[in-house]
Each structure stands twice: as structure tokens, then as C-alpha cells.
Amino acid sequence: MADLRLEHLSKRIGGHSVTHDVSLSVPDGAFCVFVGPSGCGKSTLLRLIAGLEEASAGRILVGGRDVTQVPAWDRDLAMVFQSYALYPHMTVRDNIAFALRSARRPEPEVAAKVAEAARILQLDSLLDRKPAQLSGGQRQRVAIGRAIVKQPKLFLFDEPLSNLDAELRVHMRLELARLHRQLGTTIVYVTHDQVEAMTLATQIVVLRDGRVEQVGSPLQLYDAPDNLFVAGFIGSPKMNLLAATRQGDRLVLPGCGGQSVPLPPLAALPAEGVPLHLGLRPQAISATGAQSLDLVIEVVEHLGSETLVHARAPGSAELVTALVTGGRTLSPGQPFTAGFGTAALYLFDPTGQRLR
């Protein structure tokens, strides 16, 4: 068990900055998720921590030990990849035992640790099978088993569920959460899926173009995004982001037929006429509310207990999405009053920084 600290970590590949001055503190026992769009540098950051890439600048500390120059095998970490990388000719038992046998651990210890991992991962009945005789989820569990027996200070996971179908992904997500609770070991986990990040993490690190955009608990990021990128990335369905400009104490929305809403409470007023972005979560919209926008429904998605409504002001550019409870009678072409409270509004300046 150990905490992880990154200090001004950078990685340049071919003159291009892939990891840019990343500083981060992951507490001991945390489930830390790196999330961001494809190509934002998540895997590179994880591989730097693992020692599979060499840092261009900065330091990596695991449990207070500076491992920046330490080779991968001596960092006391275990990594699980998206491609399970199992040995096809070996049984499940031998795959899980492989690292321990390579380290020449005594056979009784190997047997005990494999049995323990098999019990935790419910692989007992599969130990004599070969990987080809396993389902995707079972293979993923074997890959995790290989990591567990090393009893590492830190687990590193790179998109471990991406190759599984939707139902199995939900199931494995629960298993990973249970595993983390059971082992208590610090986990650093990479995914492009913000739902996976929200459901698994105790700490989320949002990455974009090799930089940290924001760090916080899932609900901190959901409730208080620092900028437009995090606001749009965290939360499903996505936050509505509408063009807005201040006129007096109101915000005029040119993409919603010039309708206006009152300014949310702010420490400092933005200049009049400056192009701003107004954020409003689909979940914050209902049929009633102190404020409202008059829209017309374009598309309706009936989810059962809830309904997703996509509507816009007649002849206007911007589509507004609302997630309303019930809504069974809603259909395209109907007028839709999108109600909300001023407290639900987020405002961002032209650079994307949140105005508070």
C-alpha cells in the first residue's frame, strides 16, 4: 500500500509534448481514475508511472520513494492492460503463478497465493482451463489475478473493460469496486468513459492534451466544474452549453431566439457583450421552474421512467436537452417549457474558465 505523487512530470515524444507538467497527489488507498478523450495522454501518463516510458522531466514518488529512475520491474507495481496479454499455452493457474515462479518463490507460497487470488476473483473452478476456453470477462479476471499475486504497492489499469460487451462491463465494474474495497490497495485506472470514472473513482483526474484540467471527487467535478471542458465531459447526458451575452442583469441567448434569463450570482460581472457560455444540466430542467425557456420539441427518447427531450426555440440554432421524469405523453412538434432555477446555471468566460 502506498500513495503516489507526480511532480511536474513531462514527456516529450518527437518534439511534441504528450504529458505537460503534471503534478498530482493520489492518497494511499485511493481509486484514482484518469479520464479524458482518446489521445489526451492517459496511457502515456500511466506508462510513465509504470516505468514503461522514461520521463522527460519531473519526478514520480511511490510511497515516498523516488522511482523516476527505477526500472519497471523494481517499482513494486502491477499493470493490467486492455488486451489481457495472457499466455495462451498455459492454464489459468500457470498464468496467475507466472510472475511468482519467475521470481523463484517457493512452490507452497505460489500455490497459496494462486488459491487466494482465485478465491477473490471466483476463478476456482477455472484454474485448469486455457485462456481460449474462457469468456472475455473470465480472461480479464485472470489478468487481474496475475496482478494480485504480486501484492503490489499500486495497481495500474489501462482501459481494462473496453473489450467487454456493455452488460459485462457493468458487471466487471462492480467486481472492480468490490476488489478495491477488499484489497484496499491504491489503484490508478485509465478510461475514456466518464460513466466508468464516475462510478469507480474516489478521485478523478480529467486530462486534455496532456494537461490536468481538474482533480476532484466525482460529485465535486459534477457539481463544480472549473471550466467548460470538464463541464461538458463529466455528466450524462452532456451539460447544455449555450451561447450567451450579458445585458444588464440578464443573459441573452442568441441561439435560443434571443430569450433571456437572469444572471446567476457572481463575484464579478463579465463585461457586456462579451461572448459567454451558459451551462445547464439536462437533469436540472423540468416542466416547472422559476425561470424558463420556450422551446419546441424536436426529438423525444422514451427511456421508461424518464424521457430525454431535445428541443429548440423556433428557427434557432441551439438544441437544448432535458431529462425529465415521466414525460410519456411528450412528442415532437409540441411546445416545451424548459423550467429551471437560477442556481442551476453555470457561466464560462470566452476562454472557458468558470465565472463564479
Please report, as ranges, the residues that interact with ligand ADP according to CB under 6 A.
Answer: 13-14, 18, 36, 38-44
- How many chain residues interact with Mg ion (CB under 5 A)? 1
Length of the chain measured in residues: 356
Q: For residues 209 and 41, is the Cβ–Cβ distance under 8 A?
A: yes
Phi/psi for 296 (5° steps) reads: -125, 135
Least CB distance to ligand ADP at residue 308 (A): 28
93 binds, among Mg ion, ligand ADP, none (CB under 5 to 8 A by kind): none
Q: Does 43 bind Mg ion (CB under 5 A)?
A: yes
22/323 with CB nearer Mg ion = 22
Nearest residue (CB) to Mg ion, 43 versus 240: 43
User: Is residue 240 within the footprint of Mg ion (CB under 5 A)?
Assistant: no
Nearest approach, Cβ of residue 20 and Mg ion (Å): 16
How many CB atoms lie under 10 A from the CB of residue 63? 15
Secondary structure (DSSP) of 109-129: HHHHHHHHHHHHTT-GGGTTS
Can residue 214 be called a binding residue for Mg ion (CB under 5 A)? no
Q: Among residues 39 and 275, whose Cβ is nearest to Mg ion?
A: 39
* Residue 329 near which of Mg ion, ligand ADP, none (CB within 5-8 Å, type-dependent): none
Q: By CB under 5 A, which span of 38-46, 108-116, 232-240, 273-281 interacts with Mg ion? A: 38-46
- Residues near 250 by Cβ (< 8 Å), separated by ≥ 6? 260, 261, 262, 263
CB of 48 to ligand ADP, least distance (A): 9
- From ligand ADP, Mg ion, none, interface partner of 13 (C-beta below 5 to 8 A by class): ligand ADP
Task: Give min distance, CB of 154 to ligand ADP, in A.
Answer: 18
Q: CA–CA distance from 240 to each of 64, 232, 279, 311 (Å)?
A: 42, 8, 5, 11
Asked if residue 191 binds Mg ion (CB under 5 A), the reply is: no
From the list ligand ADP, Mg ion, none, pick the one residue 14 interacts with, judged by a Cβ distance below 5 to 8 Å according to partner type. ligand ADP
Nearer to ligand ADP, 40 or 92 (CB): 40
Q: Which is nearer to ligand ADP, 138 or 194 (CB)?
A: 194
Q: Is 259 in the site for Mg ion (CB under 5 A)?
A: no
> Cell for 188?
490508478
Residue nearest to Mg ion (CB): 43
CA pair distance 61, 38, nearest whole angstrom:
26
* Beta carbons of 290 and 234 less than 8 angstroms apart: no
Q: Which residues pair with 353 in a beta bridge?
A: 227
Q: Which stretch binds Mg ion (CB under 5 A): 42-50, 127-135, 195-203, 262-270?
A: 42-50
- Identify each DSSP E strand in the chain by its residue range: 4-13, 16-26, 31-35, 57-62, 65-66, 77-80, 154-158, 186-191, 203-208, 211-216, 240-247, 250-253, 259-262, 276-280, 291-302, 306-312, 320-325, 335-340, 345-348, 354-355
| Nearer to ligand ADP among residue 52 and residue 269 (C-beta) | 52
Residue 261 interaction partner, one of Mg ion, ligand ADP, none, beta carbon < 5-8 Å per kind:
none
Q: What is the DSSP letter of 263?
A: P
In eight-state DSSP terms, residue 82 is S
Q: Which stretch binds Mg ion (CB under 5 A): 3-11, 36-44, 60-68, 148-156?
A: 36-44
Q: Which residue, 22 or 239, is less far from ligand ADP as judged by CB?
A: 22
* Binding-site ranges for Mg ion (CB under 5 A): 43
